[in-house]
Structure 1
């Protein structure tokens, strides 16, 4: 959007970015320039809280490359090493879990970064007027916006944790749309004038096992959190060892204990499909058809006993609560399936703001249900298995470091897909991580709004209604 055009040199080292002219920051901070773009990404990297902070730093500030502002609308980046476009586009995408945005350098310098982050001068068609943490965000339309002036004067996002309260607000006309659980669809369809707009492949629910910390951390030290007494963690990182085989047996048992189809049929009301390997939603045509965990709880019990845990074991299970449909309920179902094969599941329902720092620090041990959107390429998701990654799925191994990076840096498209398959075949064969299902997106639309011409922008998040600037009065 903010990039008018870009080009990549034949050696995939030099990226030339041309930015839109006339893009105004909110709150009177003037026109966006290449200086604001570079400043913003330097802050994303320095803050170290973004899931791709390290990768962003490598792209813009590689030791063998660097960034140069040519003029107000041109930025040239030498990445130092060949860079695969999908890996860069993933953190530059619009409205996704790992997306970024551009801020005013002038605002940050005038009021300070902390103050600016709470009253941000951004570039979108809606300007933040006020907000109350955990309650609401109130926005006003930006007149004569460079991309799309909204059809409505204002927009309010409300935080309403209870589904029943959201449904009630929609039925009375207080809410024009909301994050809807699929089992609320029959009620919504009965609301006078209500419409429903659907999109496939809105999200994929991953199942991550934390504590598989093999090798050294990014500072070259052993992981203090590594605990080989955990049933799913091997005391030997050698993938040919007996200890490794037993850990794999436990992890495969955890997966075949889950009836994915029943979760899709009940909790998603059929709006989705089972998925055994995460990150491949939307790329099924290239996936390995053998990536399937058939539901077999009796075999799961047997495998856990054979691995040395005849009386089961304890495991902490936490849903990453980020607004995806059925994210808590599906995780609760996983807990019940695991309890049915004799495990002691310690289910904890905590805010994502509490869970995320523990995940980044590699302190969380257990399992999470973590829904993400579509990947531009599966290997983008695998970057969370790299030791260098800021974010972590709790699984690191020297093999992954070597092969994920190799696949991430492959510029030949067909070779890149071969290397994607190599990485995920290894992940599946060793049961390092998995998935539960993919789900569709369903937007409930109230009687005041038209769905004509209202579409998400390319590669946007679609799990909840977005791009309200395109919503017109009915």
Structure 2
């Protein structure tokens, strides 16, 4: 399937009898996964980013089809090879009435670089590429990078801006080594979760955030942009698809995310609507290839078989991706032959399907020196991705069939992500949506050799390193010519596939179901947004 950024929606004919003021007061949403924080710089997961996007905004944003659009910046342009000039929207204000200015941009990037409680380093990687921020006036600033970086606007679409009043400061300046002019302590995740610091420019404000209970938002009546239909939004996490659907059918929810595909006919027959949107999220397993001893691998040789390329290729050959899509994902997914959908910038246009060949897999294991296999554990979440636990069990069965004794350990995401960041796993399930709309996004976080100074490899928990790939990637992200950059990215993607330190499985599709009187526009990044739910005309 070629991935096209167009809306694929299956929507029933909806009645408009409920389109009244009373109907528009509260939107009740059933989430599949609970956000872990309301801190906009804490952890780049889709549930967190979806919640945060209601309250905080970036300089530029991505449309539902992953196209760049103005947000807090009304325009941007390269001034030279390493400088971008941003013009901020004069209308943009925070929910407390303060205007959004260039000082807030400076403070936001400084806070990212001083956020000791952050999980992952995605935002920090972006901030580290910035050499200087020069404030020309309240509504004009220049961002300078040390080398050409044509993808900077794409990366900034993932960076929420915060109010400079969350800290005490003197004259703000982008000088991270000297605390940027901040005189108080930098707020941590708990300070944001308490709610007092949650001051954004977005269409909603935070009313209540209680882990395990629910989230309540109130419409920002002073919002500088287009106001949403709903005065109040109540979000409740229900990890199991069955109870989530029951809640929709019973009227407890107006909108739910990720209903099981097998239930779509029941949803339709019950008079409800649903939307299906192909997503940019690839599901994959990341292998621990950087250590001679891996914590959850037992080898008859006492070594780490995952360091052997043939072993990794054998593991990929053992997996029947089409069967997983049909049986585990109920057909609402696409087998992944690379890490980004075909059609995305930098993707391999004619990438062949990844082969399912258990016989060849066994032969490769023998050639690698493991004719009798070895033992390992697959680690995964059980409450984050669509059918994550079932998916992991299925892959374990496939690996067992080629002689790799495979155990499964699934856990809640609040336990899983910190453990993965500490490299406590040997084979870890991952899900990543390349929300910048191009191939460099996955490569820079997961595949390139970790280098804090260059801002790459922040999620490379497997310790993978390929100097040839690194060189291709770094040249690509510094290349201004689009055709040349795309070619270099394709070469880097191919090198990664050849090494198979990250085994791609499938691309998820976003699915939402909703009651009569509502229209809903799905997003390719799978964020569930109250602002995309409108009253049916």
Q: TM-score, normalised by structure 1?
A: 0.83
2:113 paired with 1:113: no
Matches within 5 A, 1:270-309: 270-283=331-344, 286-287=347-348, 289-309=350-370
Q: Does 1:150 align with 2:219?
A: no
Distance across 2 between alignment mates of 1:189 and 1:51 = 42
Answer with 344-353 or 316-325: which moved more: 316-325
Q: Quick one: distance in 1 between partners of 2:243 and 2:323? A: 27
Superposed CA deviations along residues 143-189 of structure 1, whole A, max 9, x for unmatched, are 14212212121001111122221011011011111122322322322
Q: CA deviation at 1:253?
A: 0.8
Q: Deviations over 1:414-470 (max 9, x none)?
A: 111111121122112222223111232222111242x1xx536xxx55425324365
Aligned to 1:181: 260
Contact persistence 2:279–2:510 (CA under 8 A): yes
The answer to which of 129-138 and 399-408 deviates more is: 399-408
Task: Output the CA distance in 1 between the equivalents of 2:290 and 2:414.
Answer: 23
Contact kept? 2:347, 2:439, Cα under 8 Å: no
Structure-2 residue corresponding to 1:70: 136
CA distance in 2, matches of 1:282, 1:466: 25
From the superposition, tell whether residues 78 and 318 of structure 1 become closer, same or farther in structure 2 (CA, over 3 Å): same
CA gap of 1:322–1:72, structure 2 versus 1, over 3 A, is: farther
Deviations 1:337-380 (A, max 9, x none): 1122222222111233333334334x233222222224521122
Pair 1:372 & 2:372 matched: no
- The answer to whether the Cα contact below 8 Å between 2:133 and 2:143 also exists between their aligned partners in 1 is yes
The residue that corresponds to 1:89 in the other structure is 153
- Given the alignment of the two structures, is residue 135 of structure 1 paired with residue 213 of structure 2, yes or no? yes
User: Aligned pair 1:403/2:464, yes or no?
Assistant: no
Match status 1:47 vs 2:122:
no
> What secondary structure is seen at the aligned counterpart in 1 of 2:135?
strand
Q: Could you say if the C-alpha distance between residues 461 and 103 of structure 1 is closer, same or farther in structure 2, counting changes exceeding 3 Å?
A: farther
1:445–1:57: structure 2 CA closer, same or farther, 3 Å change rule?
A: same
Q: CA deviation at 1:7?
A: 0.9
Matched positions, count: 432
CA distance in 1, matches of 2:274, 2:127: 41
Distance 2:382 2:150 in 1: 31
Distance 1:295 1:263, change over 3 A: same
Quick check: 1:45–1:56 contact (8 Å CA) kept in 2? no
- Compared CA separation, residues 352 and 447, structure 1 to 2 (3 A): same
Partner residue, 2:98? 30
SS across alignment from 1:113: coil
Query: What residue is the counterpart of 2:277 in the other structure?
Result: 199
Of 318, 322, 338, which aligns to 1:261? 322
Classify 1:380/1:249 alpha carbon distance in 2 versus 1 (closer, same or farther; 3 Å).
same
Contact 1:320 1:355 in 2 (8 A): yes
Give the Cα–Cα distance (whole angstroms) in 1 for the partners of residues 233 and 214 of structure 2. 10
Q: CA deviation at 1:104?
A: 1.1
Match for residue 101 of structure 1? Answer: 160
CA distance in 2, matches of 1:282, 1:173: 39
Structure 2 counterpart of 1:4, from 67, 70, 74 = 74
Structure 2 residue 487 is the aligned partner of structure 1 residue 418: yes
Q: Displacement, 1:254?
A: 0.3
**Alignment map for 1:282-361 (pairs within 5 Å):** 282-283=343-344, 286-287=347-348, 289-320=350-381, 323-361=384-422
Structure number with higher helix proportion = 1
Is 1:79 aligned to residue 148 of structure 2?
no
CA distance in 1, matches of 2:238, 2:187: 29
SS at match of 2:207: strand
**Aligned-partner SS, 1:427:** helix
Is the contact made by 1:29 and 1:107 (CA closer than 8 Å) also made in structure 2?
no
CA 1:213/1:35 → structure 2, altered by over 3 Å: closer, same or farther?
A: farther
SS in 1 for 2:114: helix
Counterparts in 2 of 1:107 and 1:326: CA distance versus 1, 3 Å: same
RMSD over aligned CA atoms reads 2.7
Counterpart-to-counterpart distance in 2, 1:150 and 1:297:
52
Using the alignment, how far apart are the partners of 1:226 and 1:340 within structure 2? 19
Deviations 1:389-418 (A, max 9, x none): 332241431513333222222221111111
Q: 1:463 aligns with which of 523, 526, 529?
A: 526
Distance in 2 between the 1:108 and 1:282 partners?
43
1:210 shift after superposition: 2.1
Distance 2:201 2:532 in 1: 13
How far has the Cα of 1:471 moved from its partner?
1.8
Q: Structure 2 length as normaliser, TM-score?
A: 0.74
